[in-house]
Structure 1
Amino acid sequence: MLRALDIRDMLIIDRLELEFQPGLNVLTGETGAGKSILLDSLGFVLGWRGRAELVRAGAAQGEVTAVFELASDHPARRVLAEAGIEAEGELILRRVNTEGGRKTAWVNDRRVSGEVLRALSDELLELHGQHDDRGLLDPRGHRLMLDEFAQAGPAIAETRAAWAARRAARKTLAAAQEQIAALKAEEEYLRHAVAELDALDPQPGEEAELDSTRRRMQGAERVRGDIARAHQVISGEGAEGLVADAMRWLDGAVEAAEGRLDPVMEALARALDALGEAETGVRDALDAMEVDPRALEAAEERLFALRGLARKHDVMVDELAEFADGLRGRLRALDASEGDMAELEAAVRAADAAYDAAARALTSLRSEAGTRLSSAMAAELAPLKLDRAVFEVDIAPAEPGPEGRDDVSFRVATNPGAPAGPLSRIASGGELSRFLLALKVCLTGDNAGKTLIFDEIDRGLGGATANAVGRRLARLADGAQVLVVTHSPQVAALGAHHWRVEKSVSAGPTGEITTSRVVPLGETDRIDEIARMLAGDTVTEAARGAARVLLEDADAA
């Protein structure tokens, strides 16, 4: 509830302090007195987008402070919590506008953005005028209002959850279909590549081992030629044979040499033994280093095959085994896709069915609430002199979404037999005001804790119709807070609290200065103000008498 409004240096207001009360608060005054400035100032502190220049001429800055009273469960507390702002029972909004146009705002002395102010505004206050395009006449909001009337919160939450599950299931299926389509596009390549890799069966570290084996065999082949030549030199065909021949030749001369050849024969015998040992070692080395040409060829062929396959797939040779595992995994996914797709498609069907059930239940709830709202509106329209008008809640199929698949619109027919049409197109100005008011009375439950402002909603109405509007406004204000800017004496008489907006012109240093002020009215002043509204500029005793009658009737009601 709006408790106080403090305005400083805004347009033609130099300083104004207002304290509002629960119930029906009425603001009256002559045209141009500044009633709209009050609403502009209130909209400014709430972050609404309005006039660009609000600072009073000659002032350095303008400032508006609004004080709201918050119940412990007020919806605005959620916005405050999200913004990290603490609040007890009182919420103070302050906004400053400098002469240069810069705007700065605080909530309970905490600096905030315009977005936070507007979020709080949605929970604190609701403004309606004769040509309202923000609230009741906006077709985009009709479903929201019907849902509030139907108390459809739990059903909407269930539908949202079903929609989210449906989207997730469809997204998973689409991703799987896309993946399988990609796999199918390369199936021929996958199967050929896996077969080729399986046939070669590359192993990690195999390249280094094959390269080492090949170098060893190639080196052994070169060295073995030298060893073979050495073997030929020292074997029986070489040095060993020559030493044996020498010993045979000397053997016949030993006796004649009278012992001089004995050391020679011994040395040759030792040499022959050493040559035999050397020949045996060389022969063993030759046997050990014997290379099978086919083995070398096989090693070279496999090494070249591994390197060629690695180049083909643009990987390292040691990565071929892992690369092959990856291709096999993609093939397994492709081969298993038929079963997986069946499961995913079944999940989508189940999610579709769950959403369909939730959406149907929500549509049914809305249809039942639409019937109740139409009946409630019929009861409200009769006292407002629209007893022959028809109000309908039209629920049409719409594209599925997180909050169901219903398009809700309010339609009316003001003349018997005439087709119903959109509320904003069918009703005239005066009728439109009464439709709006009847709707607000029926939808009072969705405004818990909100201050409702009606700006000249009774324009063009008079007599019994204006009185009926005033009584409905008073009913709407029962247990709540309603602010009405009005030119209707019948409505003003029904107010629980009454202020008059006045404009005055005074001499200033640079010329005449126009200022606006708001005066709370006591009993006598109130009679004079309502008499002015009845009679115009010249207030007569007859007008005062009529004003007293209106006030007495209001008290009796």
Structure 2
Amino acid sequence: MLAAITIRNFAIIDELEVEFDRGMTVLSGETGAGKSILVDALNLILGDRADADAVREGADRADISARFGLDDAPAAREWLAAHELDEDDECVIRRVVAREGRSRSWVNGTPMPVRELRALGETLVDIHGQHAHQSLLKRAHQRRLLDEYGEHETARVAVRDAYEALRATRAEIARIEQVDDAGDMRVDLLRYQVDELAALDLGEHEIEALEAEHKRLASAERLIGEGQRALALLFEAEEGAATDQLGGAERLLHELAAIDAGFEPIAELTTSARIQTQEAAETLRQHIDTLDIDPQRFHEVEQRLASIQDLARKHHCNAAELPGITQRLGAELAELEGAGERLAELKATAERQAAAYAEAAAELSAARREAAGRLGTAITDIIRTLGMPEGTFEVRVTPDAMDRPAATGTDEIDFLIAANPGQSARPLERVASGGELSRVSLAIEVVAASRTRVPTLVFDEVDTGIGGGVAEIVGRQLRALGDAGQSLCVTHLPQVAAQAEHHLHVAKQVDAGQTATRISTLDPDARIEEIARMLGGVELTAQTRAHATDMIERAARA
């Protein structure tokens, strides 16, 4: 659950720290005091898009952190363990938004991308906003609500995967079937290119070998001439050959070593140098013998390199890339030449995939129809307590008239309502008034929240558009949700506020020309004063306070 939130320089909040408890906590205050700003800050912590306008006027950055207890958050524990951040029984999330709009996030002190923050946030908090009814009229949203209520994730994923496999196969069939006369011309071109590359028969590492040989043949005269001169200097010169010079030095040093032992190692080194020089001369002689001035071979190598370069220019590539191009063009040719056989295989695969999709979609449809009945009954039960005693809510699951496969299945989902006796159920957007739509939305939010495994539920003025005894029932519904964990409710209704176990008051304060929001925890006396204020009237009377006291006491006894 949410244990505490600390906010600095966010919107009109300069510095604020609020602690929360289990059960139902209500936040109330005058319009514009900043009640929903706390929800906005929580949304930001949970991965909402950062906005530079959220930074308080005159500040460089907004800094928000929240501390969550994990006793009732197994999904969050699993996420933290997967990211090696499960150090204790708490999770601390911090997010900083700079004046220019950049933001940074941390989870338990470790930097975290916003997309990961959203994934973690979904395991910790479920926020129900005051404008939820606006999306309630959209079919995609209705389908999502039904699937979430029915817990159809496995069936839905099976349909999606089957659809994607079928879609990919059909796309491949369409691509192959588009091969027409132009495609035949492509086959002819590929055959010519593949044959030309095959005739070249470029071997592995052949280009490097040819270039080395070309360089050697081009310099053959120099290699032979200067090699022979080096051989003469080492061994064959009549006077002054290196081996002769070393031999003379060797004999002289051995004579000196007989007199002074210090010359012995020098004589041995000289002997080694003479032997190595003789070996070098012999190796040089053998290598020179292998060299040959061969104009014919030089011409052949030049021609071979020219052929390779010409073909590389045709394909607009480096010569070294020709083997890869040969392989790619050969594969494309094989694919096109085998298109008929491939097409037959793909069509057979598509038939199997279509059958698999139909089976998965039928299972999802059956699950949706079963869940639709339960969801319709659950919402009907609630709206009848919300001032629509004869109202009937229905979730209709209809097969798509065109039987077109889709990633979401083959069903059309419609939320229908009959608000009054004798009326047939009709789509929400064609029947419900603003007040009725708000009540239906609230009923759906309550039902959806009752199915969630998220420990903290936040309701931001979802009671808009209702009042009187209906508001009291709404408050009881929200309190019941808090009994299983934690619910936070932003409200302007005293009937809802009276149901809370904890009451926070939000107020706007002006100090030195700067506006700031303050939140305080109300004690029993202050709570009576606040609910009396919410009941209305410029001046609070004893009667108003008595009414507030009675509401709180009745809620506690319920």
- TM-score of the two chains, using structure 2 as the length reference: 0.67
How far apart, in 2, do the equivalents of 1:119 and 1:130 lie?
23
Q: 1:455 aligns with which of 450, 454, 460?
A: 460
In the alignment, is the contact (CA less than 8 A) between 1:389 and 1:416 conserved in 2?
Answer: yes
Check whether the contact 1:430–1:458 (CA below 8 A) recurs between aligned residues: no
Residue 387 of structure 2 is matched in structure 1 by: 385
- Provide, for residues 83-114 of structure 1, a one-character-per-residue CA deviation record: whole Å limited to 9, x for no partner: 67556532211122334544322222122333
> Structure 1: which amino acid aligns with 2:6?
D
Equivalent AA in structure 2 for residue 170 of structure 1: R
Q: Which residue in the other structure is 1:465 paired with?
A: 470
Kept in 2: contact 1:434–1:469 (CA 8 A): no
- Counterpart for residue 479 of structure 2: 474
Q: CA deviation at 1:158?
A: 2.7
1:502: which partner in 2? 507
What corresponds to 2:369 in structure 1?
Answer: 367
Match of 1:98 in 2: 98
Q: Give me the whole-angstrom Cα distance separating, in 2, the residues matched to 1:123 and 1:181.
A: 57
In structure 1, what residue type is equivalent to 2:353? A
What SS is found at the alignment partner of 1:383? coil
Partner Cα separation in structure 1 for residue 73 and residue 46 of structure 2: 21
Cα distance in 2 for partners of 1:79, 1:370 equals 31
Secondary structure of 2:132's aligned partner: coil
Moved more, 538-547 or 458-467: 458-467
Sort the Cα spacing of 1:503 and 1:175 in 2 relative to 1 into closer, same or farther, 3 A: closer
Q: Is the 8 A contact 2:438 2:465 kept in 1?
A: no
CA gap of 1:529–1:330, structure 2 versus 1, over 3 A, is closer
Aligned partners of 2:417 and 2:426 also within 8 Å = yes
CA distance in 2, matches of 1:470, 1:360: 40
* One-letter identity of the residue aligned with 1:475: A
Question: Which residue pairs with 2:16 in the alignment?
Answer: 16
SS in 2 for 1:404: coil
Q: 1:352 aligns with which of 335, 351, 354?
A: 354
Partner AA of 2:396 in structure 1: D
Matches of 1:163 and 1:95, distance apart in 2: 39
CA–CA distance in 2 between the matches of 1:78 and 1:88? 13
**Residues 404-431 of structure 1: CA deviation (Å, up to 9, x unaligned):** 2223232333234456455466433433
Find the residue that maps to 2:527 and give its secondary structure. Answer: helix
Amino acid at match of 2:347: E
In structure 2, what is the equivalent of residue 146 of structure 1? 146
Unaligned runs of 5+ in 2: 202-310, 316-325
SS at match of 1:66: strand
Query: CA 1:69–1:432 in structure 2 vs 1: closer, same or farther (change >3 Å)?
Result: farther
Q: Which residue of 2 aligns with 1:223?
A: none
Distance in 2, matches of 1:190 and 1:351, equals 33
Q: Secondary structure at the match of 1:53?
A: helix
Q: Return the alpha-carbon distance in structure 1 between the equivalents of residues 352 and 65 of structure 2.
A: 55
> What residue in structure 1 maps to residue 525 of structure 2?
524
Structure 1: which amino acid aligns with 2:362?
R
User: How far apart are the structure 2 equivalents of 1:6 and 1:470?
Assistant: 27
Residue by residue, what CA displacement relative to the aligned partner does 1:494-543 show, whole Å, maximum 9, x if unpaired?
0111111122333x3xxx33332111112222112111212433221111
Question: What's the offset of the Cα at 1:189?
Answer: 10
Q: From the superposition, tell whether residues 38 and 143 of structure 1 become closer, same or farther in structure 2 (CA, over 3 Å).
A: same
User: SS of 2:539's equivalent?
Assistant: coil
- Matched position secondary structure for 1:358: helix
Q: Structure 1 553/448 Cα, relative in aligned 2: closer, same or farther at 3 Å?
A: same
Q: How far apart are residue 5 of structure 1 and its match?
A: 0.8
Would the aligned equivalents of 1:26 and 1:486 in 2 still touch at CA under 8 Å?
yes
Question: Hey, what does 2:447 align to over in structure 1?
Answer: 442
Between the aligned partners of 2:487 and 2:447, the Cα distance in structure 1 is 15
> CA distance change for structure 1 residues 65 and 423 in 2, over 3 Å: closer, same or farther?
farther
Relative to structure 1, is the Cα distance of residues 57 and 485 closer, same or farther in structure 2, using a 3 angstrom cutoff? same
Q: In terms of Rg, which structure is larger?
A: 1
When the two chains are superposed, the root-mean-square deviation of aligned CA atoms in Å is 4.0
- Contact 1:130–1:429 (CA under 8 A) maintained in structure 2: no
420-429 or 10-19, which moves further after superposition? 420-429
SS at match of 1:104: strand
1:111-130 aligned within 5 A:
111-130=111-130
Q: Is the 8 A contact 2:450 2:481 kept in 1?
A: no
Structure 1, unaligned stretches of length 5 or more?
205-310, 316-322
Helix, strand or coil: the match of 1:504?
A: strand
- Does structure 2 retain, via aligned residues, the 8 Å contact 1:71–1:449? no
After superposition, the Cα gap between the structure-2 partners of 1:85 and 1:426, relative to the gap in structure 1 and judged at 3 Å, is: farther
Residues 1:184 and 1:73: Cα distance change in structure 2 (over 3 Å): farther
**Cα offset for 1:71?**
5.1
**Residues 434 and 188 of structure 1: CA distance in aligned 2, closer, same or farther (over 3 Å):** closer
CA contact under 8 A between 2:169 and 2:349: conserved in structure 1? yes
Within the alignment, does 1:63 sit opposite 2:63 as a pair?
A: yes
1:447 CA displacement? 1.9
Offset at 1:436? 2.0
In the TM superposition, 1:195-274 aligns within 5 A as none
Residue 224 of structure 1 corresponds to which residue in structure 2?
none
Task: Give the number of equivalent residue pairs.
Answer: 432
Q: Distance in 1 between matches of 2:186 and 2:71?
A: 65
1:447 partner amino acid: T
Q: Which residue of structure 2 lines up, in the alignment, with residue 159 of structure 1?
A: 159
- Seen in structure 2, the aligned counterparts of structure 1 residues 25 and 135 have a Cα distance that, compared at 3 Å, is farther
Once the two structures are superposed, what CA deviation does each residue of 1:468-494 show, in whole Å capped at 9, x if it has no partner? 111111122220321111111111110
- State the match for 2:549 in structure 1: 548
Report the residue type matching 2:445 in the other structure.
K
